[in-house]
Amino acid sequence: MKNIRSLILAIITIAAISSCKKDEIKAPEFLKFELGYDNSGTASVGDELHIDAEIIAEGKIATIQVKIHPESEHGANKTSNGWEFDSIYTVGYAGVKNIDFHEHMDIPADTEPGDYHFHMSVTDQEGNRTVKEAELLIQLPVLK
């Protein structure tokens, strides 16, 4: 009888401890993502790059980082003199669960046209991180 009571007490204790565990927070998610006007994946030298992303983060957003670099940096030939961009966004985004990240990045007039790689990472306050990557074509302006 004493063994049965000990077993029942152990089972109740384990059940109580496991029911008190914090539910795991999912990593941030991109519900919508648009790079370039009309999601074209392109931008022009001397103009701006349009980014729009709808993000949900159960663990509340800590930071959003956007990085852009020449595509050649992924290969063995890293000789490109292309434009690079690296910025962290917190104002208006940190501490929020659901946001529409809408930003425009200026592309300098001396940017080298070509293929670039786009990275956007969202880190929540729990330390979970999600990365969105895309190809970006930076082209010379179209004359009208």
Domain boundaries, the chain: 25-139
How confident is residue 1, by pLDDT bands cut at 50, 70 and 90?
Answer: low
Record the pTM. 0.77
| Unique residue bearing structure tokens 């701006």 | 48
Check: CB of residue 117 under 8 Å from CB of residue 103: no
Which string of DSSP letters, residue by residue, matches 25-78? Answer: PPPPEEEEEEESGGG-SEEETTSEEEEEEEEE-TT-EEEEEEEEEEGGGGSS--
Give the Cα separation of 60 and 19 in Å (integer).
23
pLDDT at 34 over 50: yes
pLDDT at 13 over 70: no
At residue 143, the pLDDT reads 75
Write down the CATH number for the domain with range 25-139. Answer: 2.60.40.770
How confident is residue 71, by pLDDT bands cut at 50, 70 and 90?
Answer: confident
